[in-house]
Each structure stands twice: as C-alpha cells, then as structure tokens.
Structure 1
Amino acid sequence: MKEFTNANGAYLGSPGLNQEWLEKAQYALNSSNLKSWTAGIRFSQVPDMITSHLKSALLNSYLNSITQRLGEMDRDLLHKAHVIYCTDDRGNIRDLSLSPDVSERVDQHLCRFVMDLLDQGNVWEDAVRWYWNNSVIWTLEAMSQEFEQRTLSCMSERTWSKVYSKTLCYANAERFNSLFDIYAKNFVDLYLQSLQKEYLGPSRYSLVFYEEFLGLNAPAVGVQSILRPRMIKEKTSYLTTFSMAVYHQLRKAVAAQEFTLHDNRIWLSANLETPSGSSSGSAIFKSENDLLINSCQELTKGMNDETADVMDSICHLWLKKSTSSQEKIMIHADDILDLRGLLRQKNGHGQRGGYKAEWRDRIAAHMDLLNRLWINPAGINSFTLEEKAFIISESKNSPETGSKGDYIWEVRPGNPLVRDLQKGKRQTSILSKRVFELDPYRQAYEKRAARYFSWLWRSRQSRGHYLEPIRIPTLLNAIHLEYQRSRSAKIIERFEKMMDALKDKEIIAGWQYDRIYRNGQDWLDLKLVVEPPQAIIDQYAKIKSGTKPIKPPKSAGVSLNNLGEQLRKERLRRRLTQMQAAEAIGIDQTTVSKLELGRRSPDFQTARKIQQWFTTASI
C-alpha cells in the first residue's frame, strides 16, 4: 500500500486521502456504531480465536511444568489420568502429552471462561476500537473508490459515519480473521503475563492452578483432589441482609444523600415514608454533641453507595454471628473489605498480607457516618424519641493492637430495626455478593437497582409474582436517575447499559421491556420485566407461602401431575430463563413462575402448549 506525507511530514495515509478524513474516521465511532459493532464481534469467531490461542499457551505451559517437576523426580505426576507418555530403553520419559479425550472438555471449559472474561469491563468495546483504528486506511480507500471526493465531502457527519461503518462491515473474511488473529495473540500474551505475576510463582501448586484453569480437575477426568487455590472466577454467592421497608428506605436515603435541612433545625433529615404506608417516620443525621449544621452538611457529602454497602455488610455479619437481638458483634474493617472481593496486598515475601490503610480509613469514615444516623418512627415533627439506627463503638476488648486494632468496632443494628426484624414476615432477603464488587462511584446506578430488585423479589415471594412488570419511572426514582427529555437518548442508553451490566454479572437473569417503543417520547410509559436468578427463586421457594398450592384438576389427554416441576427441570436443562421459556412456549411470563412454584393450576390449553414444547428439539 503506497503511503505519503505532507510537507511537514504529517502522515496522510494513501493517495487520495486527507487528514480530515482520518479525523472523521475517529469520530465515526459513535455510541450507536460502537454498540452495533460490539454485538457483532461478540457473536463472531473472535472468542474462538482467543480460546484457541489461550488453550495452546496454557497446555504448553502446563506440560512444561510437569516436565520440570519430573526433572525433580516427582514421578507421582505420571499417575494423573489425563497424562500420557512414552519411555525409551533407559526408562526416560518422552512424548509427554494429554489424553485426547480431555481436549473437548478443555475446549468447553475455556470457551465459557473466555466469554465471561470478555464480558467483563470494556473488553468488547476495546476490541472494536482496535479493529476500527487498524482498518481505517483500507476503509477510507474503499470509500474513495465507491464515492467521488466531492460526494464524501458534502455528506453530513451522520451520513458519513453510516457510510464508514457500512464499508467496514464489507471487509472480507480473510482480512477480518487475519487482523483479529493478531488481536487474539496479543490479548492472550498480555493476559498470561498478568496471570504469571498474580498466580504462577515458583510453587508446586502452579500445576494445580493450571488444572483448575483448564477444567482438568473435573471428577470425570479422574484427577486427584489436592490443594484447591482460589478460582479465577468464583461462583455467585449471596449475603443475607434486612429487607424491611424502613431499612430499604434508609439505605436508599444514605446512598443518594437525601438528607436535607428541615424547619431550621440543627440537624438534617430524610423522609422514610412510602406511598403504601409500609414504612413511615424519618431518618435523622446528627451528633450527640449537636454539631453545627454546616459540619453536618459537610459530613453527609461523604455518604454514597459504599456507605450502603457497609450497612448491608453490618446486617449480614450480625445476622450470621449474633445469638440474640441485643448482642453486639465485633467487626473488623477487613471483614467488610473481604465481602467486597478485594485482593489483599502482597507483603515483602510476595504473600498476601492485609489491605491498604486508605481502604480501611474509608470503612472507618462510613462507620462514623452510620453512627450519626437516628430513626424517628413517627416522623420529624412528632415528639417521639428518636433512636440510633446502628449502635457502633470502637472495640476496647480487641486482642489486636496497633494499626489493625484501630479498625475494629462492636456493632449491632439499632432498636427500630431490631423491632421490625422481630415482627417476622419478609424481614430478611438475600443479596448477590457481586453487588458489593460493583464500583460505588462509576456503577452507583447498578448498585441501587440491584438493591431495589433484591428488596422487590423478597416482597413478591409470597405470591411468586417475580415477573410482574415494573414501571420505568418507579425504577428511575429508586435509583435516583433523573429523566430529562432534552437528554433522553443518553439517559435511555445509560439505563439499558445498567440493566445489561446486571445481567452480565448474573445479578439478574434477564430483562426486557413489556413492548417495543419507537422513540424516547413514549419510553417513560413502558414497563420493565426483570427475572431473578434461579438461585433466588429456589431459595425463596423454601419459605412457606401464605397461599396454598392448587391441586391440578383432572383432565383427559394431558397429564398435569407435577407439570410445574417437569417444566422447571426441562427449562434448566435447556439453560433458559423463565422469560425465554415463556416466549418459546407461547404463554405469559408470570404463568411459568406460578406453575414452577405450584401456585397455579394449568388449564388444558396451557398444559398442551407445555407438552408440545417438551417434545421439541432441545435448544
């Protein structure tokens, strides 16, 4: 490809191209094109390319590690079921390799891992930008061949962007695969370098790490179970926290800094009332020493979604450790940081030590804020005495001294929360641990939505109406995302990005609008259907419901015995969410939920549709 520069040596690409076009090519990657290309590349051959390079590199490293260990006369490695080899006349090991029957298992294991890895962060978007930038000259040349220079110059920015993206789409498969093969190799090289630094030190347990990573430790492969290091990607786990309406309102007020000055008082307050009356009263932010209002206002600026995380952490640890409603438990800042899933820092010997002092300081600051929270069950204007929301004091009986001893507290929820907890019904819920792992600043909306869904699903447990639609304004209010018509496109895009992130993190199983909308003007009239993960449905199914299961009526031709249980097993076997199964069967989304929970008896037509779906080919 012939290239040229101008008189000043600036790169202009190929003859017929100019600097203005090169700059336009950069701006052409707008949010719409980025979203479209991201979806396209995700379902292309790119993940397979990365998996192929990753598999080759890992298997070579694994076999090299085994060879090195054999050099140290560690012949026990040869008893692994997946290792095959030959020996020469002198008994030396040669032709060390893996059994062919494990290749498919490794492929499947790595395919799942690579897709999860690429779904994290902005990896897909980074890949699009890389391909976009590395194809710019070819694309501009193709455009110049199809259009005259005058035609291209007269195009609007939007039209030019569409033409550029469309031209890039027409790259032949050889060019596409060749370019992304380079990307895949570079990606794998960088990723393996990070693994080397993080996990693969000079230890015999590096072999175990490889076996975990490659899926060779599965029982069907016959690998012995030795030391299990921490997995790269842990299974989703759940924490137990409070779900009373007053706690949910308090947590929402803290996360969104809803505290304001009320009637010229010397403290700040937030309303805890709900339209349904399930929660009432006010939250008050003050100090026992009656700080000046300016000081209180300055302190509340430190409240955010991380403060709400600390609230949930306290409730989870207290529910787990306490034996009575008035018992205090000892909490270390590291206990809360552990729940966040943060890695401890390495010490001078390369081993995991403790957390950074500034991380612990942040937890201490949030503890101080929560210690200033009070609840007045009757509201700010009543004469009812307010009580502390959390009773927190620095531990004086801690065996630890020094800096670590400075981050230990004796804690319990305050009496208003404890009294509500003792009332019994739907006072605790489970919350995905991955909510704590979300960034409290850049993913604040994701955190708030996740907490709202956790509370909502627990509220709906008794009826099993998990898939009942939610009004868009209701959710916007819950996460404090203000809708502005002048910025409707950006707000809708941010909202949908939030929902996709929750799905990617498996905090929700799926989501969809109740109908198609044409533009932002009728978006607020939509409703959202959000499906909880199967683990939440299964957990809440164990709780005794206030409604009695309905006995299926006798029906000729179609057996209704255990139809809901059969439906659930078949749906999980096909790896479908309830929304996906409902769409495939042709029935309402809530019907699937009620049938699986045994809270609805199917009519003949519904049962026939389900039976027909059972007979279709497995998805």
Structure 2
Amino acid sequence: MLNSNDRHSGKMEPNLRNQSFEYLSNRCSSKINNFLVLCIYEQNNQFHDFNNKFKTHKLKDSKGFLTFKDGLNNKSFVIWEHAYKENEELFAKLRLTARNETLSHIAQHVVFYLLSEYDRISTGNHAILKDKHLMEDSIYQMEKKLKKDTFLAEKTVWEDFYSWFRLLVKEWVLEEIALTIGFNEMERLDDQALNKLFYSHLTKHFTENTEFLSKVTDIVNEYIKKWIDKIMIEFNIENNTIEKIENLLCFKRDLQTSDVLLSTMRDFAFNFTIQDHLLVMNSAPYQSVRDAIYKKKFEIIENNPWPATPILKGNTEGYIQIIPFGNDHTTLEQSNVKEAWNRFHSLSDVDVDVFDALCSLFLSKAAHNEETVEICLNDLLSIRGLKPKLGGFGRRGGYEPKQREQILKSLTNIQSIWININKATIYENGKPVQTKLQGRTFIFKDRAGVEYDISEETCRKKITFTIDKVFAKYLNGSARQVALLSIKALQYNPYKQLWEKRLTRYLSWRWRTQARKGDFLQPNKTSTLMESIGEKLNDRT
C-alpha cells in the first residue's frame, strides 16, 4: 500500500501523522456509505491485432506485460450502493463486462506465455504463431477455461478483490481529506457531510487526477499478477511439452495436413459494448427487410411481376422487392421473374440470422460507410453458434458442406433484395430532410471493386461486401441508427425456437425506438407481439 508521503507534504511528523490517521480512519471509515467504482469500457469496433501484441510481449518478456495500462484503459465512475440497486440489472451487466475484460487480459497473458514456450521448444511450421484468427481462438478458449476450471470461477475471489479495492481507495481518500481540512475538522463532520465530501474527492480523482489513476492501475496490476502466478501453478507450467501446450491452448492437429483446427466457435462478443450483444442497424428500412424475410408476405403490386411487400413504418413509405442479382429492376424476363418467386418461397429465418451477422460484422470492421470489408464464410456459421467438427484419424475437421450451402443460399436471397423508398426522413447536419432512396441491402464486391454473384466459386472461403446507399444514409454522424441485439437471436434454433428468435429481434428494435422518450415500460399488446412475429391472434380463444 502506498505511503502518504508519496502524495502529500505536511507539518506533522510522518510517524505521528500515520498514528493519528490510523486512529481517525477507524472512526471515519465506518461512516462512509458503501460505494462501487464502475468501469465502462469503450466500444472497440476493430479486431484486436494479437500478433503485434504477442511480438511486444516477447520483447518485454512476461514480467513486462501489464494487464492494464493508462488508467485501467477505461472511464471509471463512482456510484453509491443505493443507486446501484435502483438500476441493478443494467449495472450488473456493466460489471460483468468489466470482469470479462479483465479475464480477457489475463487470458492473453497466459496464452502469450504458452506461445513463447511453444516457439522455444518446437520446430517446423508454427501455424498458430502466424494466424491471427487461431490466436484469437486460443485466447477465447483460455478465457473460457479461466471462467470454468480455475479459482477465478469462484464468486468469492471477485468479491474479495472488490472489497480490497474499495478499502484501498477509501483509505487514500480519507487520508487526503484529513490532510486537507485537518483531523479535528474532519472528525466534527456529520455522516452526510463526510460522505458528500468523500464522494466529491473520489469522483474528482477518477476523472481528473492522472497520478492517482496511475497508482491505482499499478497496484491493481500487482494484484492481478498474483492471480496469474497462481494460475500458472494450477496449470503446472513446468517441463512443458508440445502436446501439453497444445492441450492448454485447446487446439488440435489434423494428422493428415498438420494444420491447426479450432475446437469451438470464435468469440464475437468482445467487439461490443455489452457482452453477448451484437451491434446492428435499427432504421425503418432495415427492420422492414427483417420483417419481410420471415413473414414472407410478398405479392404482386401495381402489376409489377416481381415479388413485393410494402414498407409502412412511421414516416417511411415504399416497398421491398425480390430481384435476382444481375437484373435491372425495370427489365423483365420470364425466367428471371420465375427465379425471383422461387427465392421468395425459399426465404427463412436463417436468412435473417445471416442478414444481422453481415450487418454486425460490417459495423465492427468498417471505418466508414463506403468501405468494403472482408470476412470468412465460416464467420457466418460461428456467429450463429454452430460448432465445427474436430478432425482426427485422417479426417479433416470443420463445417459440413450442407451448412456452408445453407449460408450461400441465404447470401443469394439477401443479394436479391431490392429496396425502393418513396418517402423517408433522414437527418443531415442535424436537420430532417425528406428524400427518396433506391438500392440493395449489401453489395458484394471483389477486391477490384467489381460486384459479383454469390456462388460456391466466388465465396469459397472469403466474402467481401459493403452496404448500399439506402442503409448508408441511416449511418451518418449523430443520426446513426444502431441498436444492441442479443446474440441469442442468431443462436436460437430456427425451427424449435422460432418465436423466441423473432421476439428477441422485435423487442430489440422496439426498445431502441423508444429510447428517445425513455418510455421503456410501455406495455405491449399481445396482438402486437403476435403480429410482430408473423402470427395471428386467435380471437375465439
């Protein structure tokens, strides 16, 4: 614990001052109401560059790798316990996010150490050291192992950490108050006044005092370093072998190709503000496309033979059509119209899952609306909670051909969707503007910027795409319309849990549209909920 002489100077002799403070601290500490320091981690829309982090780790060696840097890498806020209890569900999620961020740092540290050992004792091609995705998965698997198989799975361990941290900052702040206003004046303060003064000092430290944040960070790092040392002991990191390290890193070797294969899905949740939620668009056209896909209420409108369904949401009017890629929406050919109706009949809730996955991955990777991003086809399977099969005994692991075919079919259906907005209100420079918009949802382009048709050949492993101008208009500046969607919406079974899947999406969209008024507790009619998932209410029952 830091000595007060590091932070203050005063006329009182150090020994006498310490004795006086110890006596006063015991009297005043019990008067301070229980409080929490809430860490809010800023959203990171870019994938982590673990390869460069690993290189830095190797240069500094394990002792030089810190869990936190620069004031805990976050914004911290002080709240009283009664305020926490009034909004417990929200704050509990934020606390869990902060805890998981800490576990992720610890997992990185352990994985980097194991990889360093792997590099030292192995020979040949080190695929795990070169592939950033494999490194991501190893870190994710280590994080799961820490949560499940180590002492960090025990709730009391974290409660002890919180208690230690609160006591530490409480002593520091009380000592500062005593040295600022004097011991006698501090002792004369009633409980309310003391708590008010304490809260003021502590809040100011976390928002303005870089020296305080630096010292808090240092001592938290030391605390967590002891956790890491204990984890190393639990894992028995001695006399390492390649097989032992591979087992700890949770990856297998294909006996035929010696490639490294992953045992479970990659974690996409770390890119978002609250754990287990995806960031997706929330505009009226976006939600209308979702509705149109799973409700499948397409028909012929105004003698136009393409399958169409109207958009009527708020002040947005228009229609959605299914027009296969490569066809001008004004040019009609009988074979293409027939293909459009075939695609209408093949629409499914899996298409909506892929639609949301594309949106989420675009928002997480694109720096601006016109950027073309690249993803792996397997990403669209992983984000839906599907797990690849393990290899072994001469067999190659991975996803099944029928799973990949289903994704390609969904991508083809999504590529066929055409949006025509006759009336919409968008915001430019903070002012509402009436406009008309036309375009597709996502545009699939190769690296040369040329659009291509979805097929097994063009999407064998990678997909490159961007958003069309309709969606782009709703992602500009402060008018950006996005929402958090529980990842469970994509992972519910599309046949056995259909209502859960659709309700999750509808409620996410509805709550986001109510956010401006803060009217989250407005009740929903049963008929409205039924209609939102494409079911009719049976008035007779």
TM-score range, shorter chain: 0.3 to 0.5
TM-score, scaled to structure 1? 0.40
TM-score, scaled to structure 2? 0.45
Indicate the structure with greater strand content: 2
Higher Cα Rg: structure 1 or 2?
1
Q: Which has the higher contact order (CA 8 A, sep 6+)?
A: 2
